[in-house]
Amino acid sequence: MTYENTIKYDKELHKNLKIHCEKCLGFCCVALYFSASEGFPTDKDAGKPCINLQPDFKCAVHKNLRQKGLKGCTAYDCFGAGQKVAQVTYGGQDWIKNTETSKQMFDVFLIMRQLHEMLWYLAEAFRMQYDETIQEKIRDMIDETVRLTNLDADSLIKLDLVVHRHNVNKLLLKTSELARGKARGGKKATLKHRKTIAGRLNFIGADLRKVNLIGEDLSGALLIAANLRDVDLSGTDLIGADLRDADISGANLTNSIFITQVQINAAKGNSNTRLPISLVRPAHWDK
């Protein structure tokens, strides 16, 4: 693939993974289980519409979510799965009028969200990969995942995502290993012997301003309310890390590995926080 075609492919892929609420039918406000303790309106069962969802699928309190303490809603990102289910899988039919298929629509949304999340990580891996053989394998996996997203509803429901996820993960791990090694410039990782909770590195509330995190593996790490002010997170693997209320003001995440919009939305940053080109600065940071 030529350089120009690689850029075009990469842009197109990322474009389809951006949320487009106007083209969705409020799936995330219905299909998901909510816990009030995680910043959602109230505890809510999966499949039950949120009390703030209006008949036109818009949120009645959209402009004031943060002020009303609904942080969970502002952090959520479906990676474009909502509009795909609404417009492609079901061709614009809505779940209010089609009560007999509504349950299936919500189940399909949850599956599509997983596929789109995998696509997001694969797209990031494709972008940062320098090894042509691995990049080719990533591209094949992207094409296969896109094919799955285009299946009809019945086939999507029957999908076994475990094997597919396992194969995706192998490519992500390889990409992370290469990218972290490059960022460390041959030096060894230093965080291996830190304390963990259920196998996850525990940095809850920790002051990490003086820790060198370049090229470290913080995948799945608990960084809740950690102080990462002005920290350089270049080549740091942040896949699945919990960044809720972590202070990333002034931090450099330009070349962080596998950071998502959900994590950025949940963290506290400012105008000096440097983000990867695939992510946007949350509006609530400037308030």
Question: Binding of ligand SF4 at residue 265 (CB under 6 A)?
Answer: no
Segment interacting with ligand SF4, rule: CB under 6 A, options 49-57, 144-152, 204-212, 250-258 = 49-57
Question: Binding of ligand SF4 at residue 231 (CB under 6 A)?
Answer: no
- Cα angle 231, 234, 239 (rounded to 5 degrees) comes to 100
Question: Binding of ligand SF4 at residue 53 (CB under 6 A)?
Answer: yes
Question: Binding of ligand SF4 at residue 21 (CB under 6 A)?
Answer: no
Question: Binding of ligand SF4 at residue 25 (CB under 6 A)?
Answer: no
Query: Which of 17, 19, 70, 279 contacts ligand SF4 by CB under 6 A?
Result: 70
Segment interacting with ligand SF4, rule: CB under 6 A, options 53-61, 171-179, 246-254, 256-264 = 53-61
Residue 287 CB-density burial (10 A; 0-12 exposed, 13-18 middle, 19+ buried): exposed
The CB-side HSE value for 217 (13 A sphere, CA atoms) comes to 16
Residue 30 or 239: the one with the smaller Cβ distance to ligand SF4 is 30
Please report which helix (H) or strand (E) contains residue 24, including its range. none
**Least Å distance between CB 82 and ligand SF4?**
11
Residue 52 or 219: the one with the smaller Cβ distance to ligand SF4 is 52
DSSP 8-class letter at 202: B
Residue 25 CB-density burial (10 A; 0-12 exposed, 13-18 middle, 19+ buried): buried
Per-residue CA distances from 142 to 102, 117, 275 (Å):
29, 11, 24
The amino acid occupying position 104 is Q
Query: Which of 50, 85, 112, 222 contacts ligand SF4 by CB under 6 A?
Result: 50
Footprint of ligand SF4 on this chain (CB under 6 A)?
29, 41, 50, 52-53, 59, 61, 70, 73
